[in-house]
Amino acid sequence: MAWFCSANTNHGLVNNLKKAGIFQFERVEKAMKATDRGKYVKYDPYRDSPQQIGYGATISAPHMHAHALENLAPFLRPGMKVLDVGCGSGYLTACLAEMVGPEGKVVGIDHIPQLVKLATDNVKNDRPELLESLRVEFILGDGRKGYPEEAPYDCIHVGAAAEKMPQDLIDQLKSPGRIFIPVGSNSQYIYQIDKDSDGNVTKKSLMGVMYVPLTDAQKQLRGE
């Protein structure tokens, strides 16, 4: 049903995602309604499909963003810290920041300078207070290695498919904490990686997907 959630407005899109049962948490609904996707995507922003944003990157379909927020919601409580790997347009980074509240922080990281600028400009246009308060910070870097300067994180979202489980990201996760990540090349699945309070790690496959690869900057720009 998710692919039929398209609408003409941001509120209509979020309402359709809710009706389709993609999310249950009211906080997810509030975050997605507070962050107008139309300020992050040039064309058909309320269409429930991935959209090209340039430089070999895409913004995920709204239903996948809703799945991510719903899955990570227990680790997106006020005051928590989040890493958003492959921040792209900055849309999901802003949604995550809405959920962790004024005392929380979200670090968005991307290895393409133009995408870091795009994300910064988009959030500045939509929610400038998130940048001014440092509730959101965008970093240029290789997200496959995480961002140890701000670690550990309560949760980590990864917006591109890793070839294998990313140990660097697992190492930067709090105990307890959770990662939402697509893994695989030809066959991809979303994995929920949990670290419990004793540091034990479990991995659970959630659904089959198709994401762009989590690769190095030059390969991405060449479309590899």
Catalytic residues: 60
- Tell me how far apart the alpha carbons of residues 73 and 29 are, in angstroms, rounded to a whole number: 11
DSSP states of the chain: -GGG---SSHHHHHHHHHHTTS---HHHHHHHHHS-GGGT-SS-TTSSS-EEEETTEEEPPHHHHHHHHHHHGGG--TT-EEEEES-TTSHHHHHHHHHH-TT-EEEEEES-HHHHHHHHHHHHHH-HHHHHTTSEEEEES-GGG--GGG--EEEEEE-SBBSS--HHHHHTEEEEEEEEEEE-SSSEEEEEEEE-TT--EEEEEEEEE---B---HHHHHHT-
